[in-house]
Amino acid sequence: MYWFHSLKRGLSHLVLIDNGRLKMRDDPVFHEALNCIRCGACLNSCANFQTVGGHAFGGETYSGGIGGSWEAGTSKLENARFSELCTGCTRCVQNCPVRIDIPWLNANLASRLNHIEPSSATKSLLGSLTDADSVDRTTPVSKMFFGNYHYFAKWGSRFPSIANSADAGRTPSTRTNSSDEGNSSLARVMIEKLVGVDRRRALPPLPKQTFVEEANSIEPPSNKGREIKVVIFADAFTNYGMTSRGIATLMVLRELGADVVVSECVPEGRAAMSQGMIATAKQHARAATRELDPHRKGACRKSWFSFWRPCHPALFSFRRGCS
Ligand code: SF4
């Protein structure tokens, strides 16, 4: 908004520049971004922004987690593609003085970007193989892969030696080395081409035994006198990746005297949500709820809700102000 006052003529001019804000106000999702007071607290609490900075995690005008919604609102949706760097960790939400649900805005940006992509036979095939919701089947192949990682990990873990042979001899790492040419095996070339995983990056190996299989093979102690019941939700990344983390949790809880059960591994929606596949994420969240529902009776309400609330406020309508 600009205000000019001309002393000479005694005239005042008020110039209002909308710049897309009315369109944002009418948007069922992005109107929330208009509450932003540009304090920058979300930027300072964002691990990704802190690491890559505003040039990578930013657009022509706005940067950081909240920047995507503003770029889309004041210019065009495609300018908000950088918002896909948001991992949905929700740390910004706790730090935002007006509690804007920035990860939810970013999931919606990713979803809209997915929906403007053209459909293809590969996407349709992949979508039906992984049971992705029909509205998410224009999603790029690499995103469909990561959004449905559980499906590929499940098949890969049935034949771990074959799946891991793509990366034999390389240490799992999250970093890349610029002098390293990378693994030039056909499998890695295909993975790089189709899914976008750099050949220099070692893949995490699939376990010989998944977390659920390993946990079920351990004889549970008698539950006599164990009054606290704990359910460990076997998420895809623990089940097919860091099985030792799940087993350590199980052992510690049993040592502490809890009666522990491990759920079946089902996708809970976070992976799909992070790729903007909101309809599929809802499908996954419902599956996880069905899996956990038998254990809900008698559960501490606080622990039950604190599990779902940060991850799925929008998927289950547990929005702020709702109980
Ligand atoms: S913390 Fe909230 S109010 Fe501050 S810049 Fe980020 S979104 Fe805007």
Tell me phi and psi for residue 60, to 5 degrees. -65, -35
The greatest distance separating any two alpha carbons of the chain, rounded to the nearest whole angstrom, comes to: 91
> Average pLDDT per run of 10 along the chain, which is 323 residues long?
69 87 96 96 95 93 95 96 92 95 96 95 94 95 94 91 74 63 81 87 88 95 86 93 95 94 93 94 90 77 58 54 33
Shortest-distance Cα residue to atom 2 of ligand 1: 96
Backbone region of residue 40 per phi and psi (left: phi > 0; alpha: psi in -120 to 50; beta: other values): left
For ligand 1, mutation pick of 44, 96, 102, 105 (most atoms within 8 Å of CB):
96
Measuring from atom 1 of ligand 1, which residue has the nearest CA? 96
Burial class (CB in 10 A: 0-12, 13-18, 19+), 226: middle
Distance CA(258)–CA(94), nearest Å, equals: 31
Q: Which of 42, 46, 57 has the most ligand 1 atoms within 8 A of CB, as the residue to mutate?
A: 42
Centre of ligand 1 to C-alpha 43, Å, is 8
Cα gap 148→271, rounded to integer Å: 7
Q: Is 224 close to ligand 1, i.e. is its CB under 6 Å away?
A: no
| Tokens 């932003």 belong to residue | 36
Atom of ligand 1 nearest to the CA of 35: 3
Q: Is the CB of 301 under 6 A from ligand 1?
A: no
Q: Which residue's CA is the closest to the ligand 1 atom numbered 8?
A: 36
* Interval between CA 96 and ligand 1 midpoint (Å): 5
- How many helices and strands (H and E) does the chain possess? 17, 4
pLDDT per residue over 32-42, tens digit each? 999 999 999 99
H, E, C per residue of 158-216: HCHHHHHHHHCCCCCCCCCCCCCCCCCCHHHHHHHHHHCCCCCCCCCCCCCCCHHHHHH
Residue 96, ligand 1, Cβ within 6 A: yes
Is 14-115 assigned to CATH 1.10.1060.10? yes
Strands 11-15 and 229-232: unpaired
**Cα distances (Å, whole numbers) of residue 256 to 221, 228, 229, 230, 249:** 12, 10, 11, 11, 11
Is 39 touching ligand 1 by the criterion CB < 6 Å? yes
| Domain segments of the chain as ranges | 14-115, 212-315
pLDDT in tens, 202-246: 888 899 999 999 999 999 888 888 888 899 999 999 999 999 999
pTM of the full structure: 0.83
Predicted pLDDT at 243: 95
